[in-house]
Structure 1
């Protein structure tokens, strides 16, 4: 197929997405979809506040020195300009690897666009119905681009395919028509970050910044369309589909308005990359039947996507969260892989590092064959007397297809991880639950600045 033909197909698919997004009305959305959107929003708000409490995020806010404005720095104690809030909230959202994700999109649709939509909604004091529609458009368009994009080996999925979703959500909130929304989506698809996965495994926080870039780029794309200077030329065919990999344009519109990807995502109970979760879950199942001091070795078999997270060495929080040996060792020793597991006082513990160095990770063809519906792992522990114990997990706990979490579960986790955050969590839960019926969202959103004073 020629470049002209590929661009024509991308342009047509983008036009359909633009029309769907511009016309999206929550009054016609199934109740189950709105309930799941509410839960994704609650998780997003709570996890953003949790990330904002980190010392490094406090330092980033101070260095940014953003002017006061209408959009909350969630958990950051104040409000700022729209662009600063979108960038800083997105960075905080992904800082602890606890943000909601979607295995079919192969990444994190909500984090790509929710901070931008919420910041813009606060500025515009939008209705709850419009804000909910914009969030849903952001998620669904991002997830479809995630399904469609097959990134080159080594490319990290933060900040590239999801920019189009951020643009769609912001365009919906600005009330753009179908053609202008399509132009915004196309512009967003032309603003990808080409980040390497090694930045995550190396512990380079630029990986978090890619989500800030996605949200600010989504705002920029929607504003370009509002100004009438954006065009739908099928940009995605060559940006995502040539420079960064391949693009299956059929995935952009398949089942549009019938399949809701927001209902098919996962929530996290481990502060680590989702590829480590099934192994950590299996390790937790084994933990009650063994003494960790007697472990001679651990073999983690996983799918090809997760096999690269094999290093047992880390030099900080981020590189630890992208290490399966770290996650398995923390699960076996501590009984959980919460935010404290990768805190500065825990990472250098000799028992944690020693056990992690006895964990080996390998790709298994039978597990890879179960992608994308499953992201499985098999963990075999060998004890000092030669006895072996094995457990297998088909998906992470929290996946919509495997032990899904409900509102009580998400709230319970947030309370455990965010001491002193009860009031903020309660306000976030109320906002998320009531969003489609709220008359205006400006003040409720600014009420989530929360913790810092």
Structure 2
């Protein structure tokens, strides 16, 4: 089957998809995470500065947690970048990235503009996730490429097309157009702390909206461009992954939620350290050896220039976890003890751990002490993965209220909307309520 034929099959599926009962609870949980994590990101000083510089016009779509509603496109872009700014957004190890973050902000902004039904909005969100994940499975990016803003744009386009009520052919054209709008971002932008890496997710929302609108106008075509853009140019592309077990396997049920504000590749090492933490005096640590799979073995920097680069430094994450017991959105970046311990962290690739991908993203940690003793721990996946100590709604709510101490009511509202949305006759007012109070009060 060609890329165009597979995309056509996806278009037909998306245009008629409804949310099956077996995934409704998981969709609600992912939606809660998106709402909450976006609000956490929106509360950061740099996000407040960005909103001020953007000067977005008033409109129908909420800036989640920011106390205002703006135009659809501005909300999609600004919520998208806020969602990923602290590395707390939901992800999927089989997609090799973040399907929800690629398209949920665009779908939600458009749903607020259209005042769509809850049934249609939920179906569009599910379509955005599943299509993005399938394109993520199909795409093997070249070494050095970052997944933000590449394969997931097709999911954003699919969700927006479903919300616009496009037919099978137009939906396929929207998906194909989204696949042709991929960003070629380098992974080093993350490790060196360049926020353009976050902007790629804002661009994914804008491109998804544009692709669906082009299809609605009759301008878009399905030519199988993903095989060229995501394949020939950016890596390789396995067309079969687009339709494998379509409508039977639901990738949204296989994702992970984050409890650490850091790249998911650092989480297993942090979890392994935290599992041992009660057994050692941090001051006595002389060395920490972290063994990881090949995907995470490059996050070796012992220095960081800002929070983004720190979140992509395994030495920072491991040292912070060992010394403070958490890796939070406000973990100190300039703690001399953390900096000193980070210089004693060594990260290496282990072939046996790489062989366990993608089902496991494992890590081994060995901690040496000044008396010559060592402690070791191995974890198969990060805590919060669907296959390893998955996080429940109470877990997410507790974390979000910790991260949003000044907005507990917003978290409660997000819980309510995440449950009620599929059954609402219209979603506009409910979504706009997630903007919260006046921005001057929230920030």
TM-score per shorter chain, which class?
Answer: over 0.9
Q: Confirm whether residue 46 of structure 1 aligns to residue 32 of structure 2.
A: no
* Distance apart, 1:436 and its partner CA: 1.1
Equivalent residue for 1:382? 368
Equivalent residue for 2:16? 23
In structure 2, how many angstroms separate the alpha carbons of the residues matched to 1:366 and 1:449?
46
In structure 2, how many angstroms separate the alpha carbons of the residues matched to 1:334 and 1:349?
11
Equivalent residue for 1:253? 243
* Distance apart, 1:376 and its partner CA: 0.2
Instruction: Say which of 285, 305, 308 aligns to 2:275.
Output: 285
Equivalent residue for 2:229? 239
Equivalent residue for 1:12? 5
* Distance apart, 1:175 and its partner CA: 0.2
* Distance apart, 1:404 and its partner CA: 0.3
Instruction: Say which of 77, 82, 93 aligns to 1:87.
Output: 77
Q: Deviations over 1:342-397 (max 9, x none)?
A: xxxx2111001000110000000111110000000000000011101000010000
Q: Confirm whether residue 312 of structure 1 aligns to residue 305 of structure 2.
A: no
Q: Deviations over 1:206-261 (max 9, x none)?
A: 00000000010000000000000000000001000110000000000000000000
Q: Confirm whether residue 347 of structure 1 aligns to residue 333 of structure 2.
A: yes
In structure 2, how many angstroms separate the alpha carbons of the residues matched to 1:49 and 1:391?
34
Which deviates more from structure 2 when the two are superposed, residues 170-179 or residues 435-444? 435-444
Equivalent residue for 2:416? 430
Instruction: Say which of 353, 378, 381 aligns to 1:367.
Output: 353
Paired residues, what number?
439
Equivalent residue for 1:410? 396
Equivalent residue for 1:150? 140
Q: Confirm whether residue 419 of structure 1 aligns to residue 405 of structure 2.
A: yes
In structure 2, how many angstroms separate the alpha carbons of the residues matched to 1:327 and 1:106?
21
Residue 448 of structure 1 aligns to a residue whose secondary structure is helix
Superposed CA RMSD: 0.7
Equivalent residue for 1:3? none
In structure 1, how many angstroms separate the alpha carbons of the residues matched to 2:330 and 2:269?
19
Equivalent residue for 1:98? 88
Residue 340 of structure 1 aligns to a residue whose secondary structure is coil
Q: Deviations over 1:263-300 (max 9, x none)?
A: 00000000000000000000001111001110000000
* Distance apart, 1:422 and its partner CA: 1.2
Structure 1 gap ranges (5+): 1-7
Equivalent residue for 2:104? 114
In structure 1, how many angstroms separate the alpha carbons of the residues matched to 2:305 and 2:370?
29
Instruction: Say which of 127, 143, 159 aligns to 1:137.
Output: 127
Q: Deviations over 1:34-73 (max 9, x none)?
A: 1100000000000000000000000000000000000001
Equivalent residue for 2:321? 331
* Distance apart, 1:32 and its partner CA: 2.8
In structure 1, how many angstroms separate the alpha carbons of the residues matched to 2:218 and 2:249?
31
In structure 1, how many angstroms separate the alpha carbons of the residues matched to 2:50 and 2:374?
47
* Distance apart, 1:420 and its partner CA: 1.6
Instruction: Say which of 372, 379, 383 aligns to 1:393.
Output: 379
Residue 234 of structure 1 aligns to a residue whose secondary structure is coil
The runs of 4+ residues in structure 1 deviating greater than 3 Å are: none
In structure 2, how many angstroms separate the alpha carbons of the residues matched to 1:80 and 1:116?
13
Q: Deviations over 1:147-169 (max 9, x none)?
A: 00000000000000000000000
In structure 1, how many angstroms separate the alpha carbons of the residues matched to 2:420 and 2:25?
10
* Distance apart, 1:338 and its partner CA: 1.1
Equivalent residue for 1:187? 177
In structure 2, how many angstroms separate the alpha carbons of the residues matched to 1:334 and 1:9?
52
* TM norm structure 2: 0.98
In structure 2, how many angstroms separate the alpha carbons of the residues matched to 1:323 and 1:370?
22
In structure 1, how many angstroms separate the alpha carbons of the residues matched to 2:425 and 2:395?
28
Instruction: Say which of 424, 427, 433 aligns to 1:441.
Output: 427
Q: Confirm whether residue 163 of structure 1 aligns to residue 153 of structure 2.
A: yes
In structure 2, how many angstroms separate the alpha carbons of the residues matched to 1:249 and 1:450?
43
Instruction: Say which of 312, 323, 327 aligns to 1:322.
Output: 312
* Distance apart, 1:174 and its partner CA: 0.2
Q: Confirm whether residue 265 of structure 1 aligns to residue 255 of structure 2.
A: yes
In structure 2, how many angstroms separate the alpha carbons of the residues matched to 1:279 and 1:271?
13
In structure 1, how many angstroms separate the alpha carbons of the residues matched to 2:122 and 2:282?
47
